[in-house]
Amino acid sequence: MKDRKTKIVYLEILRVIAIFGVLFCHTGYHGAHHYVMAENPLNYWLGMFLVSVMQYCIPLFFMISGALLLKREESLTYVLKHRVVKMLIVIFFVVFMQYVWNYHKDPTIGFDLKTYFRLVYEGSAVSQHWFLYTYTSFLLVLPFLQKLVKSIQKKSWFLYLFLAYQFSTGILPIIEYYQGWKASKFEIPLFADCIVLSFLGYYIAHCSEDFFYKGENVAVLFLICIFAVGETMYMNHLALPETQLASFGELFCALYALFLFVLVRYICYWWRMPGFVEKLFRFAGAGVFGTYLAEGILRDCLEPIYIALNTKIYSYPATFVWVFACVVVGVLVSNLIKRIPLVGKLI
């Protein structure tokens, strides 16, 4: 195959896609769970589709991290000093920011240092920030993972690990559901999301060679995703009367993240985008982390957009506009904050 340089911009595009998914998944009954109250069949089944696929976001972030970080060789001292410490500072900062915001909305909750440090320890200032704690734990073992992936000579082992992971997290729950069985106690230590998915991102970005640059392989993966989406939608529909909310949205989220990763990489490999478009995605990608840190505040502040549009257009289009506005504002503010010395380096 003709040698072409795969532009790293595809990772920036994936960041934007991932943050859009994060914000959508946290819209509650205004979006992600609107299917519960949808009277229109079209809205209901669109909701079933979205709740079945939109949780690709966190797996996609892990894959991006693997593609970027596992190819490096960093000492434990360097990782602890330059990565872990930075993430700990971010956690303290974002919990304080959220605590102040919660106090602003409801002064009765009080404000004291003891509560603040408890929120930092528990990660309970806002539940969506659990990713920061998981990512920090990933960084703590990053030097070991960087050496491990380079020692794996057989590239098929990466796929074996992912397929075994997907069987455990996707196929087995389906079997358990239809058979009425409880979840098995069988566990495999390497099946932590941050490890398997980061390995997968590293494999696709650096070890898969021409496999995912072939259109037929991308098409086969797309067909597999269609089947997985259909099964997940059906299960969510059947279980909804008992569970109140769809409970099978995570079954194949890693598979959908894999497809998005491969598809965007494939497009960027074969299509040379205009320079201004590339710069736009790089600018947007640079503001994604800051957008994630403030996504709860952004949703609260821009919720009037949804309220105003919901009475004029269908609920889901109103939700998409709301989420898109949050991403745009978050990216702009984040890139502005990046210009502030010291603080800007955190995001």
Q: Label residue 1 by pLDDT band (50, 70, 90).
A: very low
For 37, phi then psi, to 5°, come to -110, 5
* Least confident span in 226-235, 283-292, 336-345: 336-345
Residue 2: pLDDT band by 50, 70, 90 thresholds? very low
Residue % of the chain over a pLDDT of 90: 56
Q: At what angle do helices 215-243 and 253-270 cross, to 10 degrees?
A: 150
Q: Do 138 and 201 meet the contact criterion of CB atoms below 8 Å apart? A: no
Percentage above 70 pLDDT, the chain: 98
Section 159-180 average pLDDT: 90
User: Which tokens hold the place of 110?
Assistant: 């009080």
* CB 133, CB 123: distance < 8 Å: yes
Residue 245 has pLDDT above 90, yes or no: no
DSSP for residue 181: P
Q: Which two tokens stand for residue 56?
A: 């690709």
Is a pLDDT exceeding 90 seen at residue 71?
A: yes
Q: What does the alpha-carbon distance between residue 274 and residue 239 come to, in Å, rounded to a whole number?
A: 46
Total Cβ atoms within 10 A of residue 3? 4
What CA–CA distance (Å, rounded) separates 72 from 147? 9
Cβ-proximal residues to 273 (8 Å cutoff; 6+ apart), any chain: 9
- In this structure, are residues 334 and 81 in contact, taking their beta carbons and an 8 Å threshold? no
